[in-house]
Structure formats: structure tokens, C-alpha cells
Structure 1
Amino acid sequence: LVDASDSRQLLDLHLEAEECVRFCFPYNHPAVAVHYRSIATFFLRCGQPHRAQLYSRKACEIFRHALGTEHPMTVECETLLKNTQREVEEAKKLIFGNTP
């Protein structure tokens, strides 16, 4: 069993399973979006907001297409995407400073 607080190990396992998930489901299936959302969450917890943003964007696109913009899973994913965008902006400020 995996410790639920071990985001790095959970991320690694989800990345290993990504190819299988994409093989088993059509590219726009909500199960793929759920998997991408999980990967985004683990990347965010591991301090990698740029990669989290990539996966959360993919997940949101699928949720919007498959479930519509008002579905709770889409709304939740949009919130995650906004959080990743905010984290990316914070990381940029730390690296590059407050440039206009």
C-alpha cells in the first residue's frame, strides 16, 4: 500500500499508469480527465506548478467537452487550473522578480 501523504510516490504511480489509461479509454473520456487531474494535483503538491498546469489544462479541456462547463467535476478542475496558474505566477516572481 502507498501512504496517502506520499505525493511523490503517488505521482510516480500515476505517471506510470498514464499510458495504460490513454490506451484503455478514448482521448476525451472523463476517466482520462480524472487521471490528468490527479497527476496535476500531485505535481502541485510536489512543487512543480508548471507541470501541474499542463495536466490540469488537459483535464479541464476534456471535462468541458465531455461533461459541459457547469458540471461539478469541470468546475472543480477549473479551480485547480486557476490554482496552478497562480502558483506558476508566484514561481515566476520568485525567479525573475517583480518585472513589469
Structure 2
Amino acid sequence: MDRRLVHALQIDPRAAFSAIAEVLGVSDRTMLSVAPVHLEQTGTALAEHPEVAFAGATTGPTNLFATVVCPDQRELYRYLTTRLAALPAITHAETATVIRTLKRAAHR
């Protein structure tokens, strides 16, 4: 994976995390619960994290969703226990690692 990461950055050193994740096929989906009164503020703060490729408010049992891109599990753990943990309004977080991509969004 390290060689693929270096190669991706050689092609585009300023590539977005989402583009790198697509090349590497590595990303994590994080579902969060936040009190509705804090949803806008927490979502905006989450979206500013460089590790977050996508963030959106959702319906259902959780109300905030993020695609988090970290190069490995160690960095994911660091992100979850430092940056994400620093958002005080989050009451629940669940992370699922994508282990195999079955379909990517089509580009037209």
C-alpha cells in the first residue's frame, strides 16, 4: 500500500484524500450521533478535517455520516481518538472499514 500511496502522490502531489482513497481502495465510513441542536456546528467542524472526504447529515439511527480516509489502521485509530474525539457533541460513533469496493460512482 505504501508504494501505491507514493505513486498516487507522484502523479498528483496535491491530490484530495478522496482521490487517494480511490486509487488505494481504502476508506472508512463513520456514522455519528449528535444532538440535533449541535448537528450543524458539529457537521461543519467535521467537514473541515483533512481526513474527511465526505460529510453529510442523514436520517435514521445516526444523523451524521463521514467518509474518512487514512493511510492505515494506526492513523485511523489516531484520528478517531484525537480529532474526532475532540468534537464534544458526538454521543456515538461507529466506523466500518471498506474491505472491498464493488462499485464506484460513474464519471460522465
Provide TM-score, normalisation by structure 2.
0.30
Provide TM-score, normalisation by structure 1.
0.32
User: Of Structure 1 and Structure 2, which has the larger fraction of its residues in strand?
Assistant: 2
